[in-house]
Structure 1
Amino acid sequence: MLNPAFDRYRHEDIRRLIAEYPLAWVLCPGAPAASASLLPMLGTYDEDGALTGLVGHMSRRNPLHALFAQGGKAQFLFTGPQAYVSAEHAGRRKWGPTWNYAQARIEADVRVDEALTAGAVARLVAACEEGREKPWDVAELEERYAGMLGMIIGFEARVTSLDATFKLGQDESPEVLETILASHPDADLRNWMEAFNRDRRK
């Protein structure tokens, strides 16, 4: 059984996970495994910061399109930072190696709608281009854009359940935690470990 501390997280942790690792496995329960797809997703949130929905788009040829067009339910599996942690990183040969990671599992009711397509694409492009010196915009495709838009379909998902696991060193002693943070080569993992152990390191 995992440490209960791994199941403690805030709304902003889910928001950060989806923003930094937007590519999710999308599955339709009961459908063949071959229909599962990796799709980039964006979250929608209420005034308290809680995740309420997801927005995305896919090719009309994607098997999920036909499944969701029937009024489907979906599972969205997000994987965040993850890496092997060796006894060498902990600085103790008798310490058992482990794997640190973050993940979120979301169930939702999905609605596909052609009217959502342009907005879903625009939101994703804006999110991915943010911070670039010269952000790209769909208008640069000119007349090609209309044709490309016709080949995809937008969808929105209303979240019905959410659970997540953030196994990021919360169970380590202060000494081992500091040694891992000083020696592990994965900067993203270290950053997330620092965030989830901030109170313990004061």
Structure 2
Amino acid sequence: MDTERLLFAPPAYAAADPAAIVRRYPFAQFITTSAAGMLATAIPLYFESDDDTSTMIGHMARRNPHAASLEAGQSALAIFAGPHAYISSSWYRERPTVPTWNYVVAHVRGTIEPIDDEATQLAILRHTARIMESGNATPWTLEQAPPGRVDTLMPMIRSVRMKVERIEGVTKLSQTHPPGDRVRVMERLLERNDEGSHEVARWMAGLGVEK
């Protein structure tokens, strides 16, 4: 894999484990280019196995024009967005500066293979349900769908496999600021009434910021 970065991130902000971001926020903006132009669709994408450097799989509605444009060997970019939050300059007192934005994101680049056979597409749906239901006390399975519902929906989707060629991430979380300012940022974020700000604060805490 080429070591040159395509996702801009100063060294202090480069994610140590971008695959962890992908696994935590699997609903991606999936982007390809073709004769139809540049197309983007929000779809769930998951690593096909525990090897997070090999392939990813997902699906989209077949009636989506993006689905018809998919071709074997196409380049693709998948953007996995985590939490983000505006950071007021008034929170930085030890080393005053201008306002900024803290955020978490990962980019996966690779080439794709459209999947149209029913058996593989069904396996992808099972894989999706197994991952997303894993935290439930009684995980839902495809077998619990209303009779005939899965068979009805199968012709309405088109799946895709993406060979991972590069995975990069950014965790911009005030790492370059003094500890006191970072604690203050966390406290102010937790005072806000939105989950995005609270999750950014939790990411900051995960980097070892002591309160």
State the distance in 1 between where 2:169 and 2:26 align: 15
Q: Following TM superposition, by how much is the alpha carbon of 1:93 offset from its aligned partner in structure 2, in angstroms? A: 10
- Alignment match of 2:31 (pick from 27, 31, 47): 27
CA contact (8 A) 2:72 2:114 kept: no
Moved more, 91-100 or 169-178: 91-100
1:42 aligned partner:
46
The Cα of 1:84 is off from its aligned counterpart by 0.7
CA distance in 2 between counterparts of 1:2 and 1:164 reads 8
Q: Map of 1:13-24 to 2, 5 A cutoff?
A: 13-24=17-28
Stretches of structure 2 lacking an aligned partner (at least 5 in a row): 1-7, 191-196
Q: Which amino acid aligns with 2:40?
A: A
User: Structure 1 residue 29: deviation in Å?
Assistant: 2.7
Distance change in 2, residues 1:147/1:2 (3 Å): closer
- Tell me which moved more, 122-131 or 166-175: 122-131
Asked if the contact 2:94–2:178 (Cα under 8 Å) also holds between the matched residues in 1, the reply is no
Structure 1 pair 146/85, CA: closer, same or farther in 2 (3 Å)? Answer: same
1:189 alignment partner in structure 2: 200
Q: What is the distance in 1 between the residues matched to 2:41 and 2:151?
A: 24
User: Match for 1:6 among 7, 13, 24?
Assistant: 13
Partners of 2:166 and 2:160 in 1: how far apart? 18
More helix by share: 1
| Corresponding residue for residue 145 of structure 1 | 150
1:107 alignment counterpart: 109
Letter in 2 for 1:190: A
Normalised by the size of structure 1, how large is the TM-score? 0.83
List per-residue Cα deviations over 1:70-102 (Å, max 9, x = no partner).
542211111111111123444679442210011
* Higher mean C-alpha deviation, range 16-25 or range 169-178: 16-25
Instruction: Give the AA of the match of 2:148.
Output: E
Number of residue-to-residue matches in the alignment: 194
TM-score, normalised with respect to structure 2: 0.80
Contact 1:14–1:51 (CA under 8 A) maintained in structure 2: no
Q: Is the 8 A contact 2:108 2:167 kept in 1?
A: yes
Q: State the Cα distance separating 1:14 from its structure 2 match.
A: 2.1
Q: Displacement of 1:201 after TM fit?
A: 5.0
Question: Structure 1 residues 77 and 191 mapped into 2: Cα distance closer, same or farther (>3 Å)?
Answer: same
| 2:156 equivalent to 1:156 | no
Matched-pair identity in %: 25
Whether the aligned pair in 1 keeps the contact of 2:53 and 2:164 (CA below 8 Å) is yes
Is the Cα–Cα contact under 8 Å of residues 116 and 153 in structure 1 kept in the other structure? Answer: no
**Is 1:82 aligned with 2:84?**
yes
Letter in 2 for 1:139: E
State which drifts further: 90-99 or 137-146: 90-99
